[in-house]
Structure 1
Amino acid sequence: MKVAKVGLTSGFEITAYIPGIGHNSQEHYVVLVRGGRVKDLPGVRYHIVRGTLDAVGVKDRQQGRSSAL
């Protein structure tokens, strides 16, 4: 699943979406969360920021590339 339950420092527990292709997120990772809902998933109103803190970036990707070429 591409969502994670995240406990905020304010005490709230939210559900955040993990963008990109694949992830290696595990329990107790410290992640940065930004706003932005996911239309397909009810109740998911936050995104995890990849490439910051414990959330690693997308592997082998430098920029957006079309696979059609």
Structure 2
Amino acid sequence: MIYLPTDWLVEPTNESKVRELLDNLNQDLITDDLLTESEVVSELEKIGETTVIEKLNNNEIAFGA
């Protein structure tokens, strides 16, 4: 599970959707059914999670073990 401080969320009710989107980037094996990073960012923009996008672009979100 990705560490995601609640103060990074513009709207806390979006937490499950944000986690679902970020899980696409936290995979050891890339498959065709996963979203790309640009698609994840686009979806985050649609729900207004600008802080998460900023953290992602600044490599402040750690993926993997």
Give the TM-score, by structure 2 length: 0.24
Between Structure 1 and Structure 2, which shows a larger proportion of strand residues? Answer: 1
Between Structure 1 and Structure 2, which shows a larger proportion of helix residues? Answer: 2
Asked which structure has the greater RCO (Cα within 8 Å, sep 6+), the reply is 2
- Decide which structure has the larger Cα Rg and report it: 1
